[in-house]
Amino acid sequence: MNFNRKLITQFKNFKVGKPDIARHKHHLYADYIEMLALFTNNHVTKSDILDRLFDEGIDLSENEDNLDGLYSDKSENDDKNELWIIEIFNLIIYRVSLFASDYPFKLDKSGLILRDNLSDGNKIYLSLLISSNLNYFKILQPELTAEFETISQQSLINYMPKNAKVKATGRNTEYSGYAREKITKIANEINIEINDKELSDVSDRNVQEEGLDLIAWIPFEDKIPNLITILAQCACGKDWINKQFETGRYENFFYFYKQQPIHVMYIPYALSNDNYFFQAKDIIKGRIIFDRKRILEYLSNTDFFNKLKSKVIVDKCIEYVEDIV
């Protein structure tokens, strides 16, 4: 199925479905509200969200795993739900300030609504929001995940100094061919030695050794491989926490000289909350995380985005309208 046919199929009777997540994951519910604001073309209010969740058959009291479960008193239950939705909208208020001109929504006394005359930065935000909700976009998932790597690469290029080398390592890159060949080529470029025993354990028919999506290094003219190297993984799925250690296997393939690599994780989620990463500060181990804010922060030139299919998907989302309830 070509891209245009996939686009038509994706948006035939499209609907933002109910979130299947625990209610304490505020950043994902904030995404859910933004998705509704994107697709309804109208203000989304606190009461709209509670009504919609109720209509979707979600009992928030059952979905809260950090309280005691069902509330015996309906008024108490309603009060707790009201406090909960206020917390979610407070997070959206924080996003309005944090993302500033890159934030594609406007929050006023009537609720949250998509802005008019969206900038490239606004549309990249929407692309990252969509990539955080692939369960709604299963038909277009290959395009969104592949181009999330492209967006991440552009962000990493701008984060690194101008003399750095930043390269994608997946399919349809200069590192095509079998996995052993790809790993060998990377080692030759950086001038680091290969652990032949570990490399021999990779099947000679393997065309894609998982775990590494981007690699970057800052070279020296002396070509001594004692340098800063970055191994980056890009993950859109909600199980990204379990993928954060996948780049570690490349420490087995390479003998890094006197300095181990820096491991980086790119995710489209908005984890920022005050001075720490929301709901993730205790489970991120030895990784630098680029979340939605950090990715956008290092996209000074956004011309590349206009050439991506993700831009077409975003424009289609803006055009499509569904009822809030």
**Structure tokens, 226:** 């004692």
For residue 62, is pLDDT > 90? no
User: How do strand 193-194 and strand 214-217 relate by DSSP bridges?
Assistant: unpaired
144 to each of 110, 130, 235, 264, 312, how far by Cα in Å? 32, 8, 11, 20, 11
Q: How confident is the model at residue 69 (pLDDT cuts 50, 70, 90)?
A: very low
25 to each of 73, 133, 150, 187, 271, how far by Cα in Å? 24, 14, 28, 40, 10
Find out whether 321 and 41 touch, Cβ atoms under 8 Å: yes
- The answer regarding whether domain 146-301 maps to CATH 3.40.50 reads no
pLDDT at residue 279, rounded to an integer = 55
Q: How confident is the model at residue 106 (pLDDT cuts 50, 70, 90)?
A: very high
For residue 299, is pLDDT > 60? yes
- pLDDT tens, residue by residue, 8-60: 999 998 989 888 888 788 999 999 999 999 999 889 999 999 998 888 777 66
In angstroms, the CA 85 to CA 49 distance is 8
- pLDDT tens, residue by residue, 155-192: 999 999 999 999 999 777 888 778 888 899 999 999 99
89 to each of 18, 96, 218, 237, how far by Cα in Å? 18, 10, 42, 24
Outline where 15-73 has alpha helix (H): 26-40, 46-55, 60-63
Other Cβ atoms within 10 Å of 56 Cβ, number: 12
The whole-angstrom distance between residue 64's C-alpha and the CA centroid of its chain comes to 24
Q: How confident is the model at residue 71 (pLDDT cuts 50, 70, 90)?
A: very low
User: How do strand 276-277 and strand 272-273 relate by DSSP bridges?
Assistant: antiparallel
**Which residue ranges make up each domain of the chain?**
3-139+312-319, 146-301
Find out whether 296 and 274 touch, Cβ atoms under 8 Å: no
